[in-house]
Amino acid sequence: MAEKKLFTPGPLTTSVATKQAMTRDLGSRDTELIEIIKGIRQQLVQLAGVSTEQYTCIPLQGPGTYSLEAVLGTSVPKQGGKVLILENGAYGKRQAKICEVLGIPHKVQSYKLNEPISPESVEKALSDDGSYTHVTCVHCETTTGIMNPVEEIGKIVKSVRPDIVYFVDAMSSFGAVPLHMGDACIDFLVSSSNKNLESVPGWSYAIAKIDKLVACKGNARSLSFDLVAQYEGLQTNGQFRFTPPCHTFLAFNNALQELAAEGGIEGRAKRYRNNNNILISRMKALGFQQYLHPLHAGYIVTTFYYPSCPNFVFEDFYQRLSDNGKVIYPGKQVDGTFRLGNIGQLFAADIEHLVDCIKCVLTDMGVQVPLKP
């Protein structure tokens, strides 16, 4: 079976060595596995720019959404909690949905899909309503690829209301966009194993300020998603409370070594930025238009408008690229767009090859390139 390259925001293309690291069995109580998990937790805290004395990492089985749900369901007190959700895309809306299902009082403050959250408006929202206990937002809103100014928001939140818990979904930015949790005043951050750290799916994690985390004991609205209980289990005997995806930690451990060999977050950022520059300049040369203003767009995933030619049918375009081993992503919430990710084990030559392939596929579909404006 031919390997496909994933030009998506995750799961991503992983290295052969990362996949091969998983091809052996380990029991969940194996001391080797326990040591590997311990090392991974420490390294993730360090990648967040903070110390393991004040912050901890709590891995949890399942996709990123499970950790989002665990943080919201555990950190908001059962009495008197209220969350201000700052939203400019589908992942902000997902937090609102979680609060709705869990019965957590919340207010959604929405922004345009193509405009970053403005820190000034957060200051106003907090002075208009003094009852918020939590503020949350998404760092890279993968819906469009827009970057939100999480550092500025964090500083404003803490200057207006130092007691507020600040939570950031850094799922598609962590590991590739430098972020210092302490400087950004973030109390809880979540990401997953299958995004910029370039490992396989299976688990996600929260990085939390320890004092804020332990203060949440007894809040959880669910047994499986109890972040404090998960933390206590790991601190006590190094084990997950319930069966962990053992093999995937072997893969992740290898992926972290690859990150270090690449020069850490800075090195990875450099490759992704280069990928993104090539992608955008070559797509523009074909006549494609970018949805976001370049000042607001990050370098993780890029949203492009469909060509205006009536011969262009997205499903056909997608299938033809997939048949050529290139998996792309449909648009989300913005009609007439699709997305291209440039993260994972992708290099300049892969991006060049993708755009060459897009050009051929369009020609085969009867869409004239360069596109007509």
Ligand X SMILES: *Cc1c(COP(=O)(O)O)cnc(C)c1O
Closest distance of CB 148 from ligand X, Å: 10
Applying the rule CB under 6 A, the residues between 43 and 82 that interact with ligand X are 63-65
Applying the rule CB under 6 A, the residues between 176 and 215 that interact with ligand X are 192
Closest distance of CB 67 from ligand X, Å: 8
> Which has the closest alpha carbon to 23: 247, 299, 184?
247
Sole window of 13-21, 158-166, 167-175, 291-299 interacting with ligand X (rule: CB under 6 A): 167-175
- Using the rule CB under 6 A, which residue among 9, 59, 116, 175 binds ligand X? 9
Q: Which is nearer to ligand X, 167 or 358 (CB)?
A: 167
Q: Which residues contact 67 (CB under 8 A, 6 or more apart)?
A: 60, 190, 191, 192, 204, 205, 206
Q: Which is nearer to ligand X, 276 or 324 (CB)?
A: 276
Applying the rule CB under 6 A, the residues between 88 and 107 that interact with ligand X are 91
Q: Which is nearer to ligand X, 301 or 367 (CB)?
A: 301
- Using the rule CB under 6 A, which residue among 5, 7, 10, 252 binds ligand X? 10
Closest distance of CB 305 from ligand X, Å: 21
Q: Which is nearer to ligand X, 111 or 361 (CB)?
A: 111
- Bridge partner list, 162: none
Sole window of 14-22, 47-55, 164-172, 258-266 interacting with ligand X (rule: CB under 6 A): 164-172
Residue 106 backbone phi and psi in degrees, to 5: -155, 160
Listed in order, strand segments (DSSP E) in 239-283 are: none
Residue count of the chain: 373
- Using the rule CB under 6 A, which residue among 22, 44, 113, 138 binds ligand X? 138
Q: Which two tokens stand for residue 168?
A: 């950031």
Give the CA distances from residue 31 to residues 3, 182, 290, in Å, rounded to whole numbers and listed in that order.
Answer: 34, 32, 50
One-letter amino acid at 237 equals N
Query: What is the enclosing helix (H) or strand (E) of 118?
Result: none
Output the CA torsion 9→11→15→19 (10° steps): 170
Closest distance of CB 307 from ligand X, Å: 26
Sole window of 144-152, 168-176, 214-222, 237-245 interacting with ligand X (rule: CB under 6 A): 168-176
Farthest CA pair distance, the chain: 63
Closest distance of CB 194 from ligand X, Å: 7
Q: With CB under 6 A, what is the number of residues at the site for ligand X? A: 12
What are the respective helix, strand and coil percentages of the chain, to the nearest 5?
40, 15, 45
Q: Which is nearer to ligand X, 47 or 358 (CB)?
A: 47
Q: In what order do the strands lie in the sheet with 83-87?
A: 55-61, 203-209, 188-192, 165-169, 134-138, 83-87, 106-110
Applying the rule CB under 6 A, the residues between 262 and 321 that interact with ligand X are none
- Residues of the shown chain interacting with ligand X in the complex, contacts defined by CB under 6 A: 9-10, 63-65, 91, 138, 142, 169, 171-172, 192
